[in-house]
Amino acid sequence: MQLPRSQRNRRANLSLSCFSDYLYPMLQKLILPYKGLSREVWFLALTTLVNRAGAMVIPFLSLYLTRYLGFTMGQVGWIMTCYGLGSVLGVFLGGKFSDRFGYYRVMLGSLSITGLIFLALQVVETFYGFCMGIFMLTLVADAFRPAIWVALDDYSDSGNRTRSVTLIRLAINLGFSLGPAVGGLIITYVSYKGLFWVDGITCLFAALIIWRTLHQKSAVISREESRKRNPVSPYKDRHYMVFWFAMFLVGFTFMQYFSTIPLYYNQILGLSEDHIGLMLAGNGFLIFLLEMPIVHSLENGKLEDLKIVIGGTFLLMLSFLVLTISPWISIAIVGLVLMTFGEMLGFPFSNSYALDRSRKGNQGAYMAMYSMSFSFAHILGPNAGLQISERYGFESTWYLMAGICLLACIIVFAIDRRENK
């Protein structure tokens, strides 16, 4: 039965009123943080989104190596160590080359060659061959990391730098939320090999975006000019080096979510690859939805960067402690949510602190050091987590990671107190 016109009009007016009074202001609050960011920052974010959406191999690497290639957890740990070694050398060279040749060439070359290596890596099935292949992959791929942060600083200002960092992180996490979810389906209905094809092709497509949309600005800085602008090396900046060690500890624990914890989900909770992919996708979705509003509200507030980093690290510590309560899926979800909020608080503001600490002229060296903290974490974190879990059980690993997070909190707190004296 059709309602009278007056009632239909009343319902329509009520819907419009609800939208204008509640939904529209909410949408404005979500959109406002994105205003004022440069065109180049958006293109960098698009490049990152395409690249990360295809990042399907790494989240499932430990499962691929154990279930498809038949490697032991110990062998997987050593492959992850090679992953980290390549990453350390890659970010070091990426920082050097960014200061010497410019971030444009580094980003373009890194993405192009990485795509080709991914396509080749799918045919490698021996332990030593995979160690070498994964080392070469991260050596080339992670040269991109310091280059994009230098580029980001070039295309942003002090008023929106943290939001620019957050936009790149949102692109990373939106891509990461899509990648594992689709990757899990590809594994279930196609094969593990399909992941390498997608990773390789998306890297090449991301390189095409860089080539077509960005142009080499005044990115080439000679070593002599760099030294004139900034005679201080990041290695001689004591506060920065202590901060670097704290970020290494945070990265050491965070890497468990991409090595040990997927195995915990599979072996203890009984989750399949597609369910694990959806779990990890939830992390990326929450970050995409909430990180920019959170950062925007904190960016110009009274809290300093390091205090926010302490809060994020504390939440990461809690995410490991809750896993010791019981092997339930609901508990694992709570742990993942705590980790996600810790990541949203800790990583954008630690990155912003590193950018602020850097000096014009050798930003590549400073940001390479920042990235290397996570690369060293790649070397030791996954291997340590897997070895401890294999010998002493997953619960021992969670307690150890929580203790390391607490130590990182204490170190960052000490730095903050010294800087505010």
Buried b / exposed e across 294-318, counting CB within 10 Å, b at 16+? bbbebbeeeeebbbbbbbbbbbbbb
pLDDT at position 25 is 59
Please give the distance of CA 12 from its chain centroid, rounded to a whole number: 44
d(CA 292, CA 405): 24
The Cα-based distances of 182 to 2, 185, 195, 317 in angstroms read 44, 5, 9, 29
d(CA 115, CA 140): 10
**How does pLDDT run along the chain (421 residues), one tens digit per residue?**
454 555 545 554 555 454 455 555 555 555 656 666 777 888 888 887 777 665 677 767 877 888 888 888 788 888 888 887 888 888 889 888 887 888 888 989 999 998 899 889 888 889 999 999 999 998 998 888 888 888 887 777 666 677 787 788 778 777 766 776 777 777 777 778 888 888 888 888 888 888 888 765 544 443 444 444 555 677 777 888 999 999 999 999 998 988 888 889 888 888 887 788 788 778 877 877 888 788 877 876 667 888 999 999 999 999 999 999 988 888 999 999 999 999 989 888 898 888 777 765 567 778 888 888 887 887 788 888 988 998 898 999 999 999 999 999 999 999 988 887 6
Q: Are 371 and 142 in contact (CB under 8 A)?
A: yes
Residue for token pair 């490697």: 71
pLDDT at position 324 is 92
d(CA 66, CA 348): 33
d(CA 69, CA 63): 9
DSSP 8-state code for residue 14: H
pLDDT at position 11 is 52
Q: Which residues contact 180 (CB under 8 A, 6 or more apart)?
A: 56, 59, 60, 276, 277, 278, 280, 281, 284
Q: Where do the structural domains in the chain lie, given as residue ranges?
A: 40-214+231-419
Q: Which helix (H) or strand (E) holds 379?
A: helix 363-392
Q: Are 213 and 43 in contact (CB under 8 A)?
A: yes
**Other CB atoms within 10 Å distance of the CB of residue 100:** 15
Angle between helices 144-154 and 73-101 (to 10 degrees): 40
pLDDT at position 220 is 41
Q: How many residues does the chain have?
A: 421
pLDDT at position 225 is 46
Report the sign of the C-alpha dihedral through residues 102, 105, 111, 117, in that order. Answer: negative
Angle (nearest 5°) at CA 358 between 357 and 359 = 120
d(CA 200, CA 187): 16
Listed residue (415, 177, 185) closest to 285, CA to CA: 177
DSSP 8-state code for residue 49: H
Residue for token pair 């990115």: 219
Q: Which residues contact 312 (CB under 8 A, 6 or more apart)?
A: 341, 342, 343, 344, 345, 346, 347, 349
pLDDT at position 359 is 61
d(CA 345, CA 311): 7
Q: Which helix (H) or strand (E) holds 289?
A: helix 273-299
Listed residue (130, 148, 123, 149) closest to 83, CA to CA: 130
- CATH fold of 40-214+231-419 reads Growth Hormone; Chain: A; (1.20.1250)
